[in-house]
């Protein structure tokens, strides 16, 4: 599998009564594919995987996979604390037709780096589709060290890593540690997309692409075409949207932006509440600055 390009970190649309909104999932999936994204990343942090039960995860993945219908690959998050549980869910996602798996580090528990490597190797050996490691220490309380990534990159079924540490030095360390392997390093922090590509990374899993796929794609395309001005302008254009992410718990601001752009993303799952009042006004003002056409 060729892991490259821009993969939106899809939100999971809900109805007002907190149920999965299948129609909105279809609409978002089609919109992103028609925009030209290289793949879809489902059930990540912005997809509220940690708020969904097993059946809901399978339902969301099934809807996206069926709607995509092979037009682009679909990567699905199956991470968890228990290696056994992750394997069971991963095999179910593979049976549904997922093209790849994203597996976040365990959270709440804190395995050492040897335990972590065994966790990933055991999972990757239990499925036949590719695995992308997912590092987000601010949410999990632990980080995958570069030496561990170098070990895991040698596994034939582990093909990449998404780094959402926000630390470019970390991304550089991953690139250097895996330079002799067929291994993709993706930016998971949207402000570092262009910097990651310049350093030798292969792409990004981008939350902003839910709202601004054209601009995120322009970063990648500008870099590929040696159009530095296009790439830099597109990278800078993401900042107003990114600045609203800190106005509420993930993904309340992003889901409101998606909704204002024309796709009924609905509220986050409780206890996170939707953006209201002054926060909502700031998001609305930001969206007006992009002058988007309603989808």
d(CA 256, CA 207): 13
Strand partners, 184: 160
Cβ contact 25:67 at 8 Å: yes
197's tokens: 């590509």
Give me the long-range contacts of 122-125 (CB less than 8 A, separation at least 24).
Answer: 122/83, 122/87, 123/83, 123/86, 123/87, 123/90, 124/152, 124/155, 124/157, 124/158, 125/155, 125/157
Cβ contact 209:226 at 8 Å: no
79's tokens: 């991470």
d(CA 63, CA 70): 13
- 174 carries an active-site annotation: no
d(CA 241, CA 21): 24
Sheet holding 158-163, edge to edge: 5-8, 203-206, 184-187, 158-163, 131-135, 100-104, 74-77, 40-42
Which one from 27, 57, 62, 162 is the annotated catalytic residue?
A: 162
106's tokens: 């365990």
Which one from 134, 215, 220, 255 is the annotated catalytic residue?
A: 134
- 62 carries an active-site annotation: no
d(CA 91, CA 145): 27
Concatenating the DSSP letter of every residue in 172-208 gives HHHHHHTTTSS-EEEE-SGGGHHHHHHHT--EEEEGG
Q: Where in the sequence numbering do the catalytic residues fall?
A: 134, 162
């Amino acid at each position: 599998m060729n892991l490259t390009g821009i993969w939106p970190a899809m939100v999971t649309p809900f109805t007002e009564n907190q149920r999965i909104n299948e129609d909105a999932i279809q609409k978002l999936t089609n919109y992103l594919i028609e925009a030209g994204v290289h793949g879809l990343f489902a059930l990540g942090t912005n997809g509220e995987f940690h708020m969904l039960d097993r059946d809901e995860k399978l339902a969301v993945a099934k809807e996206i996979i069926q709607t995509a219908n092979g037009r682009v690959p679909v990567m699905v998050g199956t991470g968890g604390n228990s290696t056994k549980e992750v394997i069971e869910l991963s095999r179910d996602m593979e049976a549904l037709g997922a093209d790849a798996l994203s597996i976040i580090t365990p959270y709440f528990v804190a395995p050492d780096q040897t335990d972590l490597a065994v966790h990933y190797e055991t999972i990757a050996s239990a499925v036949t589709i590719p695995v992308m490691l997912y590092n987000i220490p601010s949410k999990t309380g632990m980080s995958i060290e570069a030496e561990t990534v170098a070990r895991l990159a040698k596994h034939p079924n582990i093909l990449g890593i998404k780094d959402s540490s926000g630390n470019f030095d970390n991304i550089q360390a991953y690139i250097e540690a895996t330079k002799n392997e067929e291994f993709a390093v993706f930016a998971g922090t949207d402000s570092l997309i262009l910097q990651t590509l310049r350093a030798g990374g292969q792409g990004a899993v981008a939350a902003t692409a839910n709202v601004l796929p054209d601009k995120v794609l322009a970063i990648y395309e500008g870099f590929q075409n040696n159009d530095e001005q296009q790439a830099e302008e597109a990278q800078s254009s993401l900042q107003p949207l990114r600045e609203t992410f800190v106005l509420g718990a993930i993904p309340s601001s992003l889901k409101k932006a998606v909704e204002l752009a024309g796709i009924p993303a609905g509220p986050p799952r409780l206890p996170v509440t939707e953006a209201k009042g002054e926060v909502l006004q700031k998001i609305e003002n930001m969206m007006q600055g992009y002058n988007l056409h309603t989808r």
